[in-house]
């Protein structure tokens, strides 16, 4: 090994060197520094043989070599080493791997070059990384060339970065290059992180018929679509009967929350466009509820012979319930009070149908053992103001 100052005209670049991308702006900055302070660190070269005898090939420092030419230098300090192709490739890769600006594609290509004359184990040992790291790096070379180029290209002004994590997310879509390219642009325009891109890719693969929607809409809307589609799929699965009670409570809670939101004064403060959007939303919900109610009515008719859809008021809290509900779902009060029944004779404190004695105290505050608790002849005196949903025309 020796150190000399070599003429730039006697130096040749290595066509197989790992770094292929040299950004003009970065080279200009380095050239300006060299003009002011000179080349602070010698490049590393090796003697060439055959027709290029007398010339030297760069092992490390091609950026410094290029910037020196831009700076107008005629000579450059260099360390001359006698190296085999294998040694030169390893040294060049090691030097570039230590630089933060080496892109993932260049790194993967360099590893691929080393594997032409080294085993995975030896490459891993030489670079100080695991074999898994090498294999993961090489996966990037399975991407279409246009996607690989996106990893090399710097983002434009106002664009989000497309990095190695994004590229890995697109490996699952190697059979659809056009969609991959659109997803790259989506990452840049919407500045998506890797997790967001994973969600979009997974959505496209799970519901390919909705691909165009997922490519166009924001991630938040994609999540809404997935929830809707997931709910539909969930309904196709066998129902978990052990969760029915919890399901009922969730519906009641959601219904109460929605009811509190239904304040028609909102229309005074919305544009016509937004009111159309609101009505479309509630009309869709109305249709869902109508279909749901139809199924529940059918189930009730099948389970309860003689089912009548009669609504009554809870005497304590005013909740509207079906007559078939024994207790109020809000305050748990017994609903079928003789005192509220059209068949009850208050003067004689007895049932007008059976003649059974029912004291007023019991008629007003029945217990589970009271005659009115499950009385099939109960007749509400007043019609409850229940709203019956109808299918939209």
Residue of 57, 62, 150, 362 with catalytic role: 62
Q: 244, exposed or middle or buried, with CB in 10 Å at 0-12, 13-18, 19+?
A: exposed
Phi, psi of 34 (to 5 degrees): -65, -40
Say whether 362 sits in a helix, a strand or coil: helix
Q: Sign of the CA dihedral 194, 214, 138, 89?
A: negative
User: Helices in 209-367 by DSSP H: which ranges?
Assistant: 211-216, 219-236, 244-261, 272-303, 360-364
Tokens of 283: 């009309």
> 351 pairs with which residues across the strands?
344
Instruction: DSSP letter for 48, please.
Output: -
Dist. CA 147–CA 169, nearest whole Å: 12
Query: Under a CB-based contact definition with an 8 Å cutoff, are residues 13 and 65 in contact?
Result: yes
Say whether 253 sits in a helix, a strand or coil: helix
Query: Under a CB-based contact definition with an 8 Å cutoff, are residues 384 and 312 in contact?
Result: yes
Dist. CA 121–CA 124, nearest whole Å: 5
Phi-psi region of 262 (alpha: psi -120 to 50; beta: other; left: phi over 0): beta
Tokens of 79: 């360390």
Using alpha carbons, select from 100, 34, 91 the residue that is nearest to residue 67: 34
| 62 is known as an active-site residue | yes
Dist. CA 219–CA 51, nearest whole Å: 59
- Active-site residue numbers? 62
């Amino acid at each position: 090994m020796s150190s000399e100052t070599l003429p730039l005209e006697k130096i040749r670049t290595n066509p197989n060197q790992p770094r292929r991308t040299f950004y003009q702006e970065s080279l200009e900055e380095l050239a300006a520094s060299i003009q002011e302070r000179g080349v602070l660190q010698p490049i590393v070269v090796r003697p060439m043989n055959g027709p290029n005898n007398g010339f030297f090939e760069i092992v490390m420092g091609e950026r410094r070599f290029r910037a020196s030419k831009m700076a107008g230098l005629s000579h450059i300090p260099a360390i001359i080493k006698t190296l085999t192709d294998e040694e030169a490739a390893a040294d060049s890769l090691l030097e570039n791997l230590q630089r933060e600006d080496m892109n993932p594609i260049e790194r993967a290509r360099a590893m691929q070059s080393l594997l032409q004359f080294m085993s995975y184990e030896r490459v891993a040992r030489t670079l100080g990384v695991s074999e898994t790291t090498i294999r993961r790096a090489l996966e990037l070379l399975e991407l279409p060339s246009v996607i690989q180029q996106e990893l090399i290209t710097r983002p434009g002004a106002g664009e989000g970065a497309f990095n190695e994590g994004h590229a890995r997310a697109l490996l699952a879509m190697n059979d659809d290059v056009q969609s991959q390219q659109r997803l790259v642009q989506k990452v840049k325009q919407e500045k998506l992180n890797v997790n967001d891109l994973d969600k979009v890719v997974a959505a496209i693969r799970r519901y390919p018929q909705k691909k165009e929607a997922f490519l166009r809409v924001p991630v938040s809307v994609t999540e809404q679509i997935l929830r809707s589609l997931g709910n539909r799929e969930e309904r196709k699965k066998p129902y978990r009967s052990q969760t029915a009670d919890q399901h009922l409570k969730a519906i009641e809670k959601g219904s109460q929350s929605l009811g509190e939101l239904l304040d028609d004064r909102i229309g005074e403060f919305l544009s016509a466009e937004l009111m159309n959007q609101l009505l479309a939303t509630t009309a869709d919900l109305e249709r869902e509820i109508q279909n749901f109610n139809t199924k529940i009515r059918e189930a009730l008719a099948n389970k309860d012979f003689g089912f009548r859809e009669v609504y009554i008021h809870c005497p304590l809290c005013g909740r509207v319930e079906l007559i078939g509900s024994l207790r109020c779902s809000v305050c748990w009060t017994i609903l079928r009070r003789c005192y509220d029944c059209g068949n009850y004779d208050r003067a004689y404190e007895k049932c007008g149908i059976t003649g059974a004695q029912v004291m007023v105290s019991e008629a007003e505050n029945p217990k589970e053992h009271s005659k009115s608790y499950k009385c099939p002849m109960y007749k509400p005196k007043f019609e409850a103001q229940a709203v019956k949903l109808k299918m939209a025309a």
